[in-house]
């Protein structure tokens, strides 16, 4: 076996990391489960460490796996740029592009893509604007914004907007290191109902959480509500409570340098979906169409 990892192995690893389940990763990539399992095993042999913890409901990244995932994302970003760059530089395309962004998208998803777009399309005057989901929906319909990058899983106006999902980010339980629940092989929302719960409110996160808690027939014991993801991370890390948030905003360390662990719950929880939206029955101006095609071709769209 080659001592160098292949892009296919890395792509399969990323798909499993994103979905938390080998079976779902296989469905997403239209390959067999054994292909995913074999690729991950070979990759672990090459890098010399265990990348996933296996459990009854799926897989979750180990500490080394989390580090490897960050490097894997950079690898695919570089590959994507190498493929896209020869046809991307369009100095002849000019005009203004008003892109609306929701708060979570601004902080955890879009910056590197905005930088690449402005580099590839120097003639386009990019105007990113942060706003709430409702403001964005109204702004797209009224023409204030050309296109938006937002949480498509939150979209309310599904008749007035066209939208495409780029990333489906699984939600998992966040726990401080050494928490007793980490020793449990299977955990559900009911199992954590008596734990102090840190409720995130930004981008309607608390509304989404309440829906899946209600479906589970359970109720979180909310200790504090906050709009700051970093505050949630710090509070979980120091043991003030637990939370359920998406992999997209997960980082293994708090600002204080304390570890945050993740666990895949047995309770079905919807993914947090990120994507593009624009007004229905509207011809996108050339800069917006270029942005749409640029985002479609990104490595996030294909493989994470």
**pLDDT tens digits along 24-81:** 888 777 778 888 999 999 999 999 999 999 887 788 899 899 999 988 888 877 776 6
Please list, in sequence order, all residues whose beta carbon lies within 8 angstroms of the beta carbon of residue 188, skipping any fewer than 6 positions away.
216, 265, 266, 267
Q: Specify the pTM.
A: 0.73
265 and 216 assigned to the same domain: yes
Other CB atoms closer than 10 Å to residue 22's CB: what's the count? 21
Rounding to the nearest 10 degrees, give the CA dihedral for residues 216, 221, 226, 227: 0
> Which residue, of 44, 59, 83, is where some domain finishes?
83
Quick one: 161 and 279 in the same domain? yes
- Establish if 180 belongs to a structural domain: yes
Clarify whether residues 160 and 296 are in a common domain.
Answer: yes
Cα separation of 294 and 288, whole Å? Answer: 10
Q: What is residue 73's predicted lDDT score, i.e. its pLDDT? A: 86
Round to whole Å and give the CA distance between 197 and 46.
39
Residue 46's CATH number: 1.10.10.10
Same domain? For 244 and 283 the reply is no
Q: Which of 83, 110, 133 is the last residue of a domain?
A: 83
Does one domain contain both 181 and 161? no
Neighbour count for residue 11 (Cβ, 10 Å): 22
In a domain, 2, yes or no: no
Looking at the 3D structure of the chain, how many domains does it have? 3
Q: Looking at the structure, tell me whether residues 221 and 246 fall in a common domain.
A: yes
- List pLDDT tens digits, range 168-203: 888 999 999 989 999 888 999 999 999 999 999 999
Angle between helix 63-88 and 111-120 (nearest 10): 20
Same domain assignment for residues 44 and 127: no
Q: Is 195 in the same domain as 266?
A: yes
10-22 pLDDT tens trace: 989 998 988 888 8
CATH number at residue 101: 3.40.190.10
**Contact residues for 98 (Cβ-Cβ < 8 A; gap 6+):** 127, 129, 144, 145, 146, 147
Residues 73 and 117 both lie in one domain: no
- Structural domain ending residue among the three candidates 83, 118, 135: 83
Q: Is residue 1 part of a domain?
A: no
Torsion of Cα atoms, 185 then 246 then 225 then 233, to 10°:
80
Beta-strand runs (E) in the chain: 52-55, 58-61, 95-101, 124-130, 147-151, 161-169, 171-176, 196-200, 221-226, 243-246, 260-263, 272-279
Domain that holds residue 238: 171-270
């Amino acid at each position: 076996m080659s001592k160098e990892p292949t892009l296919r192995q890395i792509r399969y690893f990323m798909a499993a990391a994103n979905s938390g389940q080998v079976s779902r990763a296989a469905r997403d990539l239209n390959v067999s489960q054994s292909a995913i399992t074999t690729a991950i095993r070979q990759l672990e042999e090459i890098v010399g460490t265990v990348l996933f913890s296996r459990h009854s409901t799926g897989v979750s990244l180990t500490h080394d796996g989390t580090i490897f995932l960050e490097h894997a994302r950079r690898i695919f970003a570089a590959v994507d740029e190498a493929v896209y760059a020869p046809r991307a530089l369009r100095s002849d395309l000019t005009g203004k592009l008003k892109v609306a962004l929701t708060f979570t998208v601004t902080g955890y998803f879009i910056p590197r893509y905005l930088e690449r777009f402005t580099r590839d399309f120097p003639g386009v005057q990019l105007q990113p604007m942060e706003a709430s989901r409702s403001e964005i929906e109204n702004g797209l319909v009224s023409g204030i914004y050309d296109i938006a990058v937002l949480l498509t899983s939150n979209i309310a106006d599904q008749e007035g907007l066209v939208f495409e999902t780029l990333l489906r980010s699984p939600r998992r339980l966040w726990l401080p290191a050494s928490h007793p629940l980490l020793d449990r092989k299977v955990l559900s929302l009911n199992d954590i109902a008596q734990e102090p719960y840190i409720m995130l409110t930004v981008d309607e996160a608390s509304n989404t959480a309440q829906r899946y808690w209600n479906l589970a027939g359970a109720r979180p014991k909310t200790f504090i509500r906050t709009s700051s993801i970093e505050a949630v991370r710090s509070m979980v890390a120091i043991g003030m409570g637990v939370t359920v948030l998406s992999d997209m905003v997960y980082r293994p360390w708090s600002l204080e340098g304390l570890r945050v662990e993740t666990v895949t719950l047995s309770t079905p929880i919807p993914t947090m979906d990120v994507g593009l939206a624009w007004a229905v029955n509207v011809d996108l101006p050339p800069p917006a169409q270029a942005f749409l095609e640029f985002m479609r071709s990104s490595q996030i769209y294909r493989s994470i």
